């Protein structure tokens, strides 16, 4: 199936561009600052949040939780709803132009239809970027190292021509799945949140962010997601307690085998 309107971005440049746009609009950004505790308090009848961070304490009238798969114990109610799943990518050496054209003649963004899927594309400098759920666990040095061994094998099943091609980079990140594999948004413990992008958040998280910012600024609720129940993740799949993830991985491999 071909989606003629699909396109690609460099996500690191995109997020840097979003940060610059926010700063131009007057936002103050504090990177490398971990929120460690959030407490609601009341001042002369008005509710406020006190946020203890790794670099000091601040107060806020409204809070948006946009912490995705990396949600911590600072917001336990949201954390227990997130299933963190690792996703990994390898990048090959720069390919000869002719080989690159043979692999992806129209330079499309490609993915397959499995649960344990592969997704791949050429980079602007003609490397093959090949990604997938090499390990279900969130990324660590170990799972990234394992992915450097697992993903080339997957890549060669799709493109045997790349058997002797060197892999020069590997990296990974963690995706925020939910039990119903749907994004959710609204309020939790009186704070706005959007989560559950399950590996599709580059465009979606930005859209949800715009909507939540509108709600904070007093716009009427135009988010069709706020009324949808947000189920908790089963114990064993939750952040910090992901011992059952290999079982989930096995289940999806079985589904892939039969479909």
Ligand X SMILES: Cc1cc2nc3c(=O)[nH]c(=O)nc-3n(C[C@H](O)[C@H](O)[C@H](O)COP(=O)(O)OP(=O)(O)OC[C@H]3O[C@@H](n4cnc5c(N)ncnc54)[C@H](O)[C@@H]3O)c2cc1C
- Residue 214's H or E segment, with its range, is helix 201-216
The least CB distance from residue 98 to ligand X, in Å, is: 26
Maximum CA extent, the chain: 70
Please state, in angstroms and rounded to a whole number, the distance separating the CA atoms of residues 87 and 174.
Answer: 6
72/99 with CB nearer ligand X = 72
Residue 99 or 252 having the CB closest to ligand X = 252
- Residue placing its CB nearer to ligand X in the complex, 52 or 101: 52
Q: Which of 103, 185, 205, 237 binds ligand X (CB under 6 A)?
A: 205
Among 78, 87, 126, 143, binds ligand X (CB under 6 A): 87
Q: Which is nearer to ligand X, 78 or 103 (CB)?
A: 78
The piece of 39-47, 66-74, 178-186, 241-249 that touches ligand X (CB under 6 A) is 66-74
Nearer to ligand X, 88 or 137 (CB): 88
Q: What string marks each residue from 109 to 148 as x (binds ligand X by CB under 6 A) or -? A: ----------------------x-----------------
The answer to whether 58 touches 41, Cβ cutoff 8 Å, is no
Tokens standing for residue 177 = 């799945």
The C-alpha atoms of residue 151 and residue 145 are separated, in whole angstroms, by: 10
Identify each DSSP E strand in 54-200 by its residue range: 56-60, 64-65, 83-92, 110-111, 118-122, 128-132, 167-177, 184-188, 191-195
User: For 160, which DSSP code?
Assistant: G
199 binds ligand X (CB under 6 A): yes
67 or 226: CB nearest ligand X: 67
- Shortest Å, Cβ 74 to ligand X: 4
CA dist 256 and 18 (Å) reads: 37
Cβ-based neighbours of 40, under 8 Å, separated by 6 or more: 47, 48, 49, 50, 189, 190
Identify the residue among 67, 107, 123, 226 touching ligand X (CB under 6 A): 67
Closest CB 193 distance from ligand X, rounded Å: 10
- Selected from 70, 116, 225, 252, the binder of ligand X by CB under 6 A is 70
3-state secondary structure of 142: helix
Question: What would the two tokens of residue 257 be?
Answer: 């085998």
Determine, following the binding rule CB under 6 A, whether residue 193 of this chain makes contact with ligand X: no
Chain residues that interact with ligand X, rule: CB under 6 A = 34-35, 66-72, 74, 87-89, 131, 172-173, 175, 197, 199-203, 205
């Amino acid at each position: 199936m071909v989606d003629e309107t699909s396109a690609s971005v460099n996500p690191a440049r995109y997020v840097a561009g979003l940060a610059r746009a926010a700063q131009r609009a007057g936002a103050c950004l504090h990177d490398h600052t971990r929120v460690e505790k959030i407490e609601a308090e009341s001042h002369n009848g008005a509710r406020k949040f006190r946020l203890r961070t790794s670099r000091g304490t601040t107060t806020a009238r409204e809070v948006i939780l946009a912490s995705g798969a990396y949600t911590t114990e600072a917001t336990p109610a949201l954390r227990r709803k997130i299933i963190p799943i690792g996703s990994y990518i390898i990048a090959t050496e720069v390919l000869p132009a002719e080989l690159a054209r043979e692999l992806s003649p129209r330079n499309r963004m490609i993915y397959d239809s499995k649960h344990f899927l592969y997704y791949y594309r050429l980079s602007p400098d003609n490397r093959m970027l090949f990604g997938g759920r090499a390990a279900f666990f969130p990324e660590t040095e170990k799972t990234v190292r394992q992915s450097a061994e697992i993903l080339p094998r997957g890549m060669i099943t799709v493109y045997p021509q790349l058997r002797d091609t060197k892999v020069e980079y590997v990296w990974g990140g963690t995706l925020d799945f939910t039990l119903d594999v749907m994004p959710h948004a609204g309020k939790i413990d009186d704070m706005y949140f959007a989560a559950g992008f399950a590996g599709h958040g580059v465009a979606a998280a930005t859209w949800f962010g715009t909507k939540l910012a509108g709600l904070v600024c007093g716009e009427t609720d135009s988010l069709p997601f706020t009324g949808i129940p947000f189920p908790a993740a089963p114990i064993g799949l939750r952040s910090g307690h992901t011992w059952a993830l290999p079982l989930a991985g096995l289940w999806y491999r079985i589904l892939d085998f039969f479909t």
